[in-house]
Structure 1
Amino acid sequence: MKSSQLHPASLIAALFCLLAIACAPPRSSRITIGAKNFTEQVVLGEMLAQEIEAITGEQVDRRFYLAGSYLCQQALVSGRIDGYVEYTGTALTAILKQPLPPVGQRDEATVFREVSSLYASRYHVKVGPGLGFEDTFAMVVRGDDAKRLGVKTISDAVKTPPDPNGWRLGVGYEFQSRPDGLRGLEATYGLRFAGDPRTMDLGLLYRALSSNQVDMVAGNSTDGPIRALGFVVLEDDKHYFPPYEAVPLIREDSLQRHPGIQGAMDRLAGKVSADEVRGMNYAVDSEHRDVAEVVREFRKSKGL
């Protein structure tokens, strides 16, 4: 007859397992929507949350300001959130770790199909229909410099830097390390910069550009300050960046438990233009308006 006593090592292992279970955050019975840590993400997270509340009549928990794509992905896979809004190009390269497709195969439909298939097979996550706009990376310069140097495209910027040593570049943390970010951009265009890029929080990029600390920043095409401060987005004339269509990502088991989420995604599909999201970003960033109020006004304007 075997002893009923546990070996000390087994006892320690069991205690660690119990501790891990006890410390793991319980999955909320309420729907939880996440967002990354910049204004547009919070706007889109709030939009999805409000639409789900309108359809289901249930309160939705918000878990916003998660620091980047990686943490949002981990929160989604672990069940700490039921969904969030991602961008297809980011999903393809930064999360799914797929190589950039050839230039001729970087259309929205092809990238959407691949992203949808991989999320479903790997993570049991559904990619919802696009919200109606794309938020691509954008190489942004001061309007005065663009006019003085005659630069309209990234290729123009390669030929005509503001200084013989090149452009002084400011980037966010993800852009410097992503496969669809800085290294590929440099290789595609032959861009050369004056010294190492200055890496900073996304919210500081335009302040640095405005105060002449840098000459070019890697921002996002829907950022509110671009228009407000008279900056210019350089055309990606070699089509380096893949599509970045804004799409909801929702766990399949969450859709089974809360069918109203699908209804919310369907109602939001195609409803948001790039100009409209740029306007909402500006209202929050520059006019310091409440995100929930800005989103409610937008939904009302769309009859939602």
Structure 2
Amino acid sequence: MMQQIEQILTTQSGELLQALGQHLEISLLALLIAAAIGIPLAIVLTAHQKLAEAMLQVTSVLQTIPSLALLGLLIPLVGIGTIPAVITLVLYALMPIFQNTYTGLIGIDPALKEAEIAFGLPRAKRLLRIELPLAMPLIISGLRIALVMIIGTATLAALIGAGGLGTFILVGIQSNNNALLLVGATLSAVLALVVSALIRWLGTLSFKKITVSLAIFVGLFGVIEGMTRFQAPQTTITIAGKLGSEPEILMNMYRDLILEDQSNYKVTIKPNFGGTTFLFNALKADKIDIYPEFTGTVLQTLVKSPTKTNQNPTKTYQLAKKSLQEQFNMTYLPPMRYQNGYDLAVTAAFAKKYNVKTISDLAALNQPFTAGFDPDFYHQKDGYQGLKDTYQLNLNAKIMEPSIRYKAIADGKVDVVDGYTTDAEVARYKLVVLEDDRHFFPPYQGAPIMKAGFAKAHPEVVKALNRLAGQITESQMQEMNYQVQVKHRKARDVAHDYLVKQKLISH
């Protein structure tokens, strides 16, 4: 484990620093906004006790909303990326900041306040010279609590493309790489401790020094933020993908193919970006430009298709391409050779014990076996929802992250899992894939999907990505997934090696 961690720190130091910077940027921005809202609001409401109590109730309720649910609610309103992440973190940070500021101000000795008035001090001077300095220890404490909470919750920002240390945690979970997960979690904890210590030190200063320090910090933060965001005009392309190693491999192939001929382009990769509908909505909203999608999923989930999906891969692709063009004005490029279809798998011991070889055999047992399904498979019509109607399956289905479900079946925690025909874990755990004897699953060939306007504006990108058409066999993709998930190689290195070996790029 230590050797793996040392290797990650050595080979991925650049990515770690970038993720650390993103995490710190999101966290500090959220803290500044929350403080700018919470502190003045507490000051105003000290004269309105009932309103202050109502505000405390509102901020407390916000704390009870799961962060993932809050992110999901914000995405349709403000899109994806940094904005919904910051809004979510601000809402979580409001309670400790508002509560501590209000408590600090109302806790001042009433006799002291009467003396202030007797001396004829204006409200602003009373606040700045006496009340805020006295309340400052509690205010600083509220900021510390809020920031630690923000840094911990900010790891979820990776799920909506905002980056940060959560990216390493998420990739570690998906690739079953505990070293990567530990590095991301440890750096997040260290960041929280360091920043908390800085705020604690800030609390030891006088009120005047605190205000000056905060003013300098806000100014520097604004300057650095402006410098990092200022760039010369440049073609920027954003490529995203679903959870797992395979989408990340494909995304990196897309990037390398584009940069082969257009080295001046800026191509941003957003791996582990979410489920099917999340990605498709992001594409429609122009938050991303390209993502890899499979033909069967297009017809079963994304478009309105009046006919049953054809089992012929070519006809399936043509219908998917036509439907995307007509219904969403999107371009679907020619697919790769391999098919990455859904399947159901059981252990060899389970298959032998119950004598099951097909999905019909499993359904005929009519027992509520425990199943571990990934979120996409569980919810989609081309997944469990359609499968249970076709086969009259009676399973006790539980939603799990893709990598976790394989570990669960290997440990005997579940009896059945969904998977893909190119998954490396099938061979790794010696699982038995059940035959789809009623031919429910449609053909699944992957290809880049993009808006028609983007394709028209960037014919060079279309030309570059079309080099993958008809490429990659199932065995090749299985091997690449194995290299990432089991050998813990970087997806970008595995993708690059394949393209070079197949002479799709020069070096």
TM range (shorter): 0.7 to 0.9
Corresponding residue of 2:318: 113
In the alignment, the residues of structure 2 paired with residue 61 and residue 180 of structure 1 have an alpha-carbon distance, to the nearest angstrom, of: 30
Q: Which SS does the other structure have where 2:236 is aligned? A: coil
TM-score by length of structure 1 reads 0.84
Query: For the Cα contact (< 8 Å) 1:283–1:289, is it kept in 2?
Result: yes
In the alignment, the residues of structure 1 paired with residue 306 and residue 413 of structure 2 have an alpha-carbon distance, to the nearest angstrom, of: 33
In the alignment, the residues of structure 2 paired with residue 97 and residue 28 of structure 1 have an alpha-carbon distance, to the nearest angstrom, of: 37
Select the structure with the greater relative contact order (CA < 8 A; seq sep ≥ 6).
1
Query: For the Cα contact (< 8 Å) 1:106–1:243, is it kept in 2?
Result: yes
Query: For the Cα contact (< 8 Å) 1:222–1:277, is it kept in 2?
Result: yes
State the Cα distance separating 1:266 from its structure 2 match. Answer: 1.9
Corresponding residue of 2:24: none
- Identify which of 247, 250, 270 aligns with 1:63: 270
Query: For the Cα contact (< 8 Å) 2:363–2:394, is it kept in 1?
Result: yes
In the alignment, the residues of structure 1 paired with residue 443 and residue 344 of structure 2 have an alpha-carbon distance, to the nearest angstrom, of: 15
In the alignment, the residues of structure 2 paired with residue 59 and residue 289 of structure 1 have an alpha-carbon distance, to the nearest angstrom, of: 24
Equivalent position amino acid for 1:65 in 2? N
- Identify which of 38, 62, 69 aligns with 2:244: 38
Corresponding residue of 1:219: 419
Kindly indicate which of the two structures has a greater share of residues assigned to strand.
1
In the alignment, the residues of structure 2 paired with residue 283 and residue 209 of structure 1 have an alpha-carbon distance, to the nearest angstrom, of: 21
For structure 2, which runs of at least 5 residues remain unmatched after alignment?
A: 1-77, 85-161, 163-228
Corresponding residue of 2:337: 132
Pair 1:90-2:310 in alignment: no
In the alignment, the residues of structure 2 paired with residue 37 and residue 175 of structure 1 have an alpha-carbon distance, to the nearest angstrom, of: 12
Equivalent position amino acid for 1:221 in 2? T
Equivalent position amino acid for 1:88 in 2? T
Equivalent position amino acid for 2:316 in 1? V
Corresponding residue of 2:473: 273
In the alignment, the residues of structure 1 paired with residue 467 and residue 235 of structure 2 have an alpha-carbon distance, to the nearest angstrom, of: 24
Corresponding residue of 2:52: none
In the alignment, the residues of structure 1 paired with residue 328 and residue 385 of structure 2 have an alpha-carbon distance, to the nearest angstrom, of: 29
1:242-292 Cα shifts (integer Å, max 9, x gaps): 111111112222223322212222211111111111111111111111111
In the alignment, the residues of structure 2 paired with residue 240 and residue 129 of structure 1 have an alpha-carbon distance, to the nearest angstrom, of: 24
Equivalent position amino acid for 2:375 in 1? Y
State the Cα distance separating 1:149 from its structure 2 match. Answer: 3.4
In the alignment, the residues of structure 2 paired with residue 174 and residue 267 of structure 1 have an alpha-carbon distance, to the nearest angstrom, of: 29
Larger radius of gyration: 2
In the alignment, the residues of structure 2 paired with residue 100 and residue 166 of structure 1 have an alpha-carbon distance, to the nearest angstrom, of: 32
State the Cα distance separating 1:222 from its structure 2 match. Answer: 1.1
State the Cα distance separating 1:100 from its structure 2 match. Answer: 6.3
Corresponding residue of 1:158: 363
Moved over 6 A (4+): 23-28
Query: For the Cα contact (< 8 Å) 1:100–1:180, is it kept in 2?
Result: no
Query: For the Cα contact (< 8 Å) 1:126–1:250, is it kept in 2?
Result: yes
In the alignment, the residues of structure 1 paired with residue 301 and residue 386 of structure 2 have an alpha-carbon distance, to the nearest angstrom, of: 13
State the Cα distance separating 1:154 from its structure 2 match. Answer: 1.2
Query: For the Cα contact (< 8 Å) 2:290–2:449, is it kept in 1?
Result: yes
- Identify which of 467, 470, 482 aligns with 1:282: 482
State the Cα distance separating 1:213 from its structure 2 match. Answer: 0.6
Q: Which SS does the other structure have where 1:250 is aligned? A: strand
Query: For the Cα contact (< 8 Å) 2:240–2:270, is it kept in 1?
Result: yes
Query: For the Cα contact (< 8 Å) 1:205–1:219, is it kept in 2?
Result: no
Kindly indicate which of the two structures has a greater share of residues assigned to helix.
2
Corresponding residue of 1:246: 446
- Where do residues 67-86 of structure 1 align in structure 2 (5 Å cutoff)? 67-86=274-293
Corresponding residue of 1:176: 378
TM-score by length of structure 2 reads 0.51
Equivalent pairs: percent with the same residue? 28
State the Cα distance separating 1:123 from its structure 2 match. Answer: 2.3
Equivalent position amino acid for 1:176 in 2? Y
Query: For the Cα contact (< 8 Å) 1:100–1:242, is it kept in 2?
Result: no
1:112-136 Cα shifts (integer Å, max 9, x gaps): 1221112112322111111111111
Go from structure 1 to structure 2 and tell me whether the alpha carbon gap of 1:147 and 1:289 turns closer, same or farther (over 3 Å shift): same
